[in-house]
Structures are given as C-alpha cells and as structure tokens.
Amino acid sequence: MLIVKKFGGSSVADKERIFNVANRCIEDYKKGNQVVVVLSAMGDTTDELIEKAQSINPNPPKREMDMLLACGEQTSVALMSMAMASLGVPSISLNAFQVAMHTTSKYSNAKFKRIDTDRICSELDLGKIVIVTGFQGINKFDDITTLGRGGSDTTAVALAAALGADACEIYTDVEGVYTADPRIVPNAKKMKEISYDEMLELASLGAKVLHNRSVEMAKKYGVTLVVRSSLTTAEGTIVKEVKGVESMLVSGVAVDKNTARIALIGVKNSPGIAFKVFDLLAKHNINVDVIIQSIGREDTKDISFTVDEAQAREAVQILKENKERLTIQKIMEEENVAKLSIVGAGMQTHAGVAAKMFEALFDVGVNIRMIATSEIRITVLINLDDVDRAMKAVHDKFIDD
Ligand code: ADP
Ligand code: ASP
Ligand code: MG
C-alpha cells in the first residue's frame, strides 16, 4: 500500500512529538507499505514568523512573506528525517521545489496546478520514507508560494491524488471531526463518517480541522480521507462520498470568529448599485459572504455584508476610494462579530430547521444580526461575545447528548 500521512503543527510541536510521529510512520513502513509524510510547521511557528515579519514591516511584500513562512515546514521535515535516521530507518526530506509542486502565482493563497511525482516515486523505490513540506508550492517564476493558513491538509490530498495513494490520513490534536469544535462544546460527538459536501461546508464556515480546499480536492479526485489523532489510536472520522444513508438533519455546527461586517449607508436606490459594489470587491479578490440589503426608504437604501477580517481593511479602503461613484454616504466597519452556522444534508427535505435554530438562540438571549442560507447550511451573524454560548445552545438543540 502507498499511504500519505499528514501531521499538523501540534503533532510535531517538540522533540517527543517528533519521535512519536516518526515511530508511527515507521510502524507502517515496517509492515511493507510505502509511506509519504506531509508535515506542518512545529507548534505556533507560523504565527511566530508572522509576528516577526510584522515587527519589521506591518505591511510586508507578499512574496517575501511566503519565502519566510515556508521556512516553518522546512524545519519540520528536516528534523523528522533526522529523527528517522537516528532510529535507523532510511528517509529523505523534500521541499516544494525539490518535489516540484507547481501552483498558481498568487502569493499567500496559491492553488496547486500540477505535481511532479518522479522524485517522490524514485525515493520510495529506493526504500525510503519520503517527508514532504506541507503548505508550500512554487510558481511560474520559480518563487515559493503558500496555500493559505491550514494549507498542509491540501498538500496531503494533492499528493495522495497525484500518487494514486491507497490511503490519506490526516493526523491532528483531536480524534476526528466532531459535531462542533470539541474545545468550545465539550459534549460534541465524534462522527464516524461525513460526506464531502457537509465537510466542505463545515470547513468553509470555520471548522478548521480540515482546510476547505483539501476537502474540495478530495471530492474532485475521489480521495477518501481519515481524520484522526496523532496521540491516540482511536478510530477517526472518514470523509467520503456518502450515499444511500438517511442524511442527518444537522450534522455539525461551525463558528467563524475571523469575520467583519461592513455596512454601506445611504446608497442610491437604483438598479446597478449592488452590481457595482460587489463587482469591484470581486475584482480585488475579496470574498463576500452574508449580504443584506434594506428596503429602500425614499431614494436611498443600506447594504451590509461580511468579509474575512483579514480582508476588511482592504475592502473598506477600496470602497472609500470609490465612494462617490458608488453613491455611498457612509461606510461602517465592525469586527466584533462572528458567524455561526449549522450544516446538514437533511435540511433539504425538512421544514422548520431555521426556526429551531432561531429558537435556540432566543432561549439564550442571543440577537441575530444577519441571516444567510443555502441548501445545506444556515448561517447567522451574531456578536462575538455571544458566540460560545450560542454555539452550545444550537448544538444541544439539534444534537442529543
Ligand atoms: P492541525 O495543526 O493538526 O492542522 P488544526 O488546529 O488546524 O490542527 O485543526 C484542529 C482543530 O480544529 C482542533 O483542535 C479543534 O479545536 C478545531 N475544530 C474546529 N471545529 C472542529 C470540529 N467540528 N471537529 C474537530 N475539530 C474542530
Ligand atoms: N503552518 C501552516 C499554518 O499554520 C500550514 C498548516 O499548518 O497547515 O497555517
Ligand atoms: Mg490545520
């Protein structure tokens, strides 16, 4: 069997954890499997590197930022190979350049285009465990790119797809995918399996246990994922195409605290304004999620929407520069908000799911600021301070103890 095993930052945070991972990989190797290991940066290394960059330049060039952040993963793979060498097992560490993992050119948010498998395959054929840096790629200028926070999951899935691996295992600091973040909702339940579509919604709505693009890619290439703990042997959660089973009404609850709300007050109540606003934001690659437009009063209306906190400042700046053309009287920005979402394929065929969610929020006195729905999710925007108890209340309303 060819197995791709990915370990997140907390799983390689110190010497003891590195040896723990080395031993888990060697166990599979000694059973006669070919093993490809994908690693994240150790512990909080990526955050620390970001802080370092900010201390030098609060607005660093994105190319240099990627050059810097890629160092974290490179440290992990080199140390892991040294650990394996000390245990007498042949291994080799490779970075994105050495493998040749080609991405789009966009620094800090690149996407895989093509992965050369020759080098990995020849090292595997030599009987080595191959240890690859997560999170990084190279673009057409031969520059290092990164895939966005949490991107090592996507590296693992992309490699599993390119190599035609028999298994792709994502090891982390919890025992699988739960009905809510187990650190916020202690009675959250581990799921045995979850469909790609539901997992994709959860991941996109803030459940960072898997990078959303890794799920997208797993679905596209039919890679079955297992999410499990690097510290226990508990069975994890399988992410795959789930068909034929009765869908859960609500399979999970997710929160996204890194969201900001932007309100455009007093824009002209005439056709084309919403188009011009969102077209402008789209042209700058700013992702907009929940949108509300007020009923027009006299000849003006208000438009509010949410964006990623990291993009809020840029969004406001762009809108300010175009204030007159877009007929905006006032722009307001607020970061003290969070998105709370429920996800479940069963929603498509059941009435009253939204009402039940709103009831749970009413029960704990949480005010809803905005609402958005799709076929399999309902999202509300609430105050940041309310989010943990709101999550617990909504979770307990839908998912029994
Ligand atoms: P890694 O460093 O291994 O990639 P992450 O920190 O990116 O780990 O993701 C694991 C974390 O995701 C968990 O510690 C947990 O707090 C959080 N999380 C959020 N939602 C969920 C969920 N529904 N199920 C499991 N974990 C979740
Ligand atoms: N080290 C990167 C991050 O912290 C990538 C990852 O962990 O997946 O975001
Ligand atoms: Mg992660």
In a domain, 382, yes or no: yes
Find the mean pLDDT for residues 61-77: 98
CB-defined site of ligand 1, < 6 Å: 8-11, 40, 150, 172-174, 177-178, 180-183, 202, 207-209, 252
Q: Are residues 24 and 157 in the same domain?
A: yes
Is there a contact between 110 and 102 (Cβ–Cβ < 8 Å)? no
Final residue belonging to a domain, choices 294, 316, 335: 335
Find the mean pLDDT for residues 152-175: 98
At residue 50, the 3 state secondary structure works out as helix
CA 220 to each of CA 99, 109, 210, 309, 383: distance values in angstroms, whole numbers, following the listed order = 22, 19, 16, 29, 36
Number of domains in the chain: 3
Q: Are residues 162 and 62 in the same domain?
A: yes
Final residue belonging to a domain, choices 173, 207, 236: 173
Closest CA to 92 of 125, 130, 139: 130
Q: Are residues 8 and 104 in the same domain?
A: yes
Ligand 2 pocket test, pick from 152, 154, 227 with the greatest ligand atom count within 8 Å of Cβ, gives 152
Q: 159 falls in which pLDDT band (50, 70, 90)?
A: very high
Q: What is the pLDDT of residue 31?
A: 98
List pLDDT tens digits, range 295-351. 877 789 999 999 999 899 999 999 999 999 999 999 999 999 999 999 998 888 888
Q: What is the pLDDT of residue 400?
A: 67
Q: Which atom of ligand 2 is nearest to the CA of 72?
A: 1
Find the mean pLDDT for residues 255-278: 95
Ligand 2 pocket, 344 CB below 6 A? no
The residue whose C-alpha atom lies closest to atom 21 belonging to ligand 1 is: 181
Ligand 2 pocket, 46 CB below 6 A? yes
The residue whose C-alpha atom lies closest to atom 5 belonging to ligand 2 is: 150
List pLDDT tens digits, range 224-237. 999 999 999 999 99
In a domain, 306, yes or no: yes
Q: Are residues 320 and 345 in the same domain?
A: no
Q: What is the pLDDT of residue 242?
A: 83
Find the 149 Cα to ligand 2 centroid distance in Å. Answer: 5
Q: What is the C-alpha separation between 210 and 275, in angstroms, rounded? A: 33
Q: What is the C-alpha separation between 210 and 158, in angstroms, rounded? A: 14
Q: 244 falls in which pLDDT band (50, 70, 90)?
A: low
Ligand 2 pocket, 172 CB below 6 A? no
The residue whose C-alpha atom lies closest to atom 9 belonging to ligand 2 is: 149
Domain span including residue 343: 338-398
Ligand 1 pocket test, pick from 181, 225, 258 with the greatest ligand atom count within 8 Å of Cβ, gives 181
Q: Are residues 272 and 314 in the same domain?
A: yes
Eight-class DSSP state of 225: E
Q: Are residues 314 and 342 in the same domain?
A: no
Is the dihedral angle over the CA atoms 179, 181, 185, 189 positive or is it negative?
positive
Q: Are residues 17 and 118 in the same domain?
A: yes
